Structure 1
């Protein structure tokens, strides 16, 4: 009797809630676009008297241009990785949505360390602090993208055969490399700040190079070696 009563009063198992993937992608793309737009808005138009003075004032702002290019390339690389993951999602759950929000939190934060870097890159001692904060911000972005990818795989959110996709395979190889490269560059920045900044740019470009192009180059190099 007690068994029948327990069976009758037992609550049905809750099925995990699924969210609209399209809305998540649209919202994410909007935040990425907003962050990139803020980067260029931080570049101040120089003012001077005469053509020569204006050209000199324009060239003096090179730290702002460098910071803009590096941050743009890094956000672009993160967006490409995020996009390749989203394309292979069959569904998203509450945990993935929250991880995605954490990623967007730091994407929207990127213009701040970018501005910080551009203002203090030429200030002795202070530039080390600026470059360190800059690198940590990028490290966190790469870490969260890796967390998104690992969770999507373990939670069964990806389409069947996603691991066979060339872009997905490239991300599986390159993203963990970023988790190693960023700490190394952060340490380098304590001694040679500008070397670290251009290292961040090189790392972002490495992530952005199409997988097929790099694969063809590897094949061509192997054929030439033979």
Structure 2
């Protein structure tokens, strides 16, 4: 008689951090809807008047969409980062908490942009908007650095090439958001345009498809194949250790 042995699955050390972070992202992205307000119509109530009032609120729609897309991509990137992280420590917890603090404040400058984008103070509100994303990007880089420096908190299978690639992509955001901040006083529209384009960039780079051997290294790839083979998913065929 063959006795089957099952080893209990080890709980991921960062599980609670991820759950808490997901909740904060969810609340922040939900609060953005308050930047969309129903227009107050005066008599006489006509369809043309309603359509005109709705069209006049286009800054609200623009600010909502950009902020929603940015928080969404930020959450996806946060999730992708934590797939590479296996441990946590106090500096990492504080860095992640600081990031969540900034995420929860996104609805405030979003409301400012929605309200004042077409007014003489548009430069100030766009500078605040870009400035918040600049700070968020800097803290995001800090979070990654705390985890990736000397691979302190990363899984052993993560290759140096993947660490370098992620670090390079994350670092690109700060100069762009700084440019958006400075240009806000000259052209608020250009500033908002830069913020709009950046979330598209993050969307295409967050889950960059790379050859498995390049991303995880030979040793990490072999470990993954062994686990898959034990589940019966693939045939064992490992590369050189």
TM-score above 0.5: yes
Partner secondary structure for residue 205 of structure 1? helix
Higher mean Cα deviation, 68-77 or 143-152?
68-77
Residue 77 (str. 1) matches residue 73 (str. 2): yes
Say if 2:168 is the partner of 1:173: yes
Report if the CA contact (8 A) 1:90-1:159 is conserved: yes
Q: Distance in 2 between matches of 1:137 and 1:56?
A: 32
What is the Cα deviation at residue 172 of structure 1? 2.3
Q: Determine the structure 1 residue equivalent to 2:31.
A: 38
* 1:209 aligned counterpart, secondary structure: helix
Q: Which residue of 2 aligns with 1:86?
A: 82
Equivalent residue of 2:63, what SS?
helix
Q: 1:152-196: CA deviations, max 9, x gaps? A: 012610012324686x66532221111111111111111000111
Partner of 1:192: 187
Give TM-score scaled by structure 2 length.
0.75
Q: What is residue 18 of structure 2 aligned with on the other side?
A: 25
The aligned runs of 1:1-226 (5 Å cut-off) are 20-48=13-41, 49-124=45-120, 126-154=121-149, 156-163=152-159, 170-210=165-205
Provide the aligned C-alpha RMSD in A.
Answer: 2.1
Q: What SS does the aligned partner of 1:159 have?
A: coil
Unpaired segments of 5 or more residues in structure 2?
1-11, 211-241
Shift in alpha-carbon separation, 1:53–1:214, aligned structure 2, 3 A: farther
Task: Give the secondary-structure state (helix, strand or coil) at the position aligned to 2:195.
Answer: helix
Contiguous gaps of at least 5 residues in structure 1: 1-18, 216-226
Secondary structure at 1:162 match in 2: coil
In structure 2, the residue matched to 1:12 is none
Change in Cα spacing, 1:94 to 1:183, as seen in structure 2 (3 Å) is same
The TM-score, its normalising length taken from structure 1, stands at 0.80
How many residue pairs were aligned? 195
Deviations along 1:181-217, one digit per CA (max 9) or x if unpaired, are 11111111110001110110101111112567799xx
Q: Deviation string for 1:117-175 (max 9, x for gaps)?
A: 11111111x11110111111000111111001111012610012324686x66532221
The 1:110/1:211 distance shift into structure 2, 3 A limit, reads closer
The 1:138–1:212 alpha-carbon spacing in structure 2 relative to 1, beyond 3 Å, is: closer
Q: Which has the higher helix share?
A: 1
CA contact (8 A) 2:95 2:139 kept: yes
- Displacement after TM superposition at 1:36 (Å): 0.6
